[in-house]
Amino acid sequence: MSTDVTDVLRTTDLLGSAPTADLEAISAASRSRTFRRGQILFTTGDPGDSLIVVLSGRVKVVVRSADGGELTLTVVGPGGVIGVVSAADGGPRSADAETLEDCRLLFVPREVVQDLCGRAPSVAQALASSVAANLRRLTEDTSDLVFLDLPRRVAKVLLSQPRDQDGVIGHKMTQEELAHRVGGARQSVNAALRGFERRGWIQVHNQAVTVKQAAALSRFAGD
């Protein structure tokens, strides 16, 4: 397995504390695969037999209703990991995962992760911390869905995205993607964005969003 894979593993919160020899062993025991945009990696109920490390590209983790409704739980980019809960308890997948763009992913067998946790307490602690962080995030997101109206949920998602020094959000998001993040309709998201633009809080151009007044947007969101 190439050196760049080991370098990415070293940047992850979950595996970064492991010695270089262990990271190289993980690379050797894992398999790297490429996926096109829009491919399904797994669906709810599939065996949780591997931890997935995103080497390049972005993957969304979603839950879907019987009638086709979709709620995006998280979007994972390079250096992020998917399947932490299954790596911890060996249970089946609790959501679906789909590529948002062309991706290169590393599939680490669960038994490799468990073996490393048994030998490296720092990795075991990182796994427990990652599960706890996911629980905290999902609890907050559930609270937002219940107690915040859609425009405030849109504001919180915009503020959560990485931005450059000019306030430009790094990844372009279609209004449909944003709607899936906040659990609303695309038309409602469009109305919220236009309202923010009228106030001078953001600027939207060709799906690129620039946050002009982060403090005002944060106050509106209730942060």
CATH number at residue 214: 1.10.10.10
Give the H or E element holding residue 191: helix 186-198
| Cross-strand partners of 54 | 105
Strands (E) in 100-149, as ranges, are 103-109
Q: How many CA atoms lie within 13 A of 29 on its CB side?
A: 17
Show the domain range for 131: 3-145
pLDDT at 2 over 70: no
Interstrand relation of 59-64 and 70-76 (parallel, antiparallel or unpaired): antiparallel
CA dist list (Å): 94 to 44, 45, 63, 82? 5, 6, 8, 11
pLDDT at 1 over 50: no
Query: Per-residue pLDDT tens for 164-211?
Result: 999 999 888 889 999 999 999 999 999 999 999 999 999 998 888 999
pLDDT at 69 over 60: yes
pLDDT at 223 over 80: no
* Cβ contacts of 110 within 8 Å, gap of 6 or more: 48, 49, 50, 51, 86, 87, 90
Query: Per-residue pLDDT tens for 73-95?
Result: 999 999 999 999 999 999 999 99
Distance in angstroms (rounded) separating the CA atoms of residues 134 and 108: 19
**Which tokens sit at 143?**
């609270």
What's 89's domain CATH number?
Answer: 2.60.120.10
pTM of the shown model = 0.87
Q: Are residues 43 and 105 in the same domain?
A: yes
11-28 mean pLDDT: 91
| Structural domains of the chain, count | 2
Q: Give me the sign of the Cα torsion angle 111, 116, 118, 122.
A: negative
21-47 mean pLDDT: 95
Percent of the chain past pLDDT 90, that is, above it, reads 88
Query: Per-residue pLDDT tens for 134-160?
Result: 999 999 999 999 999 999 999 999 999
Q: Are residues 133 and 154 in the same domain?
A: no
Q: Among 130, 145, 160, give the residue marking a domain's end.
A: 145
35-64 mean pLDDT: 96
Q: Are residues 86 and 131 in the same domain?
A: yes
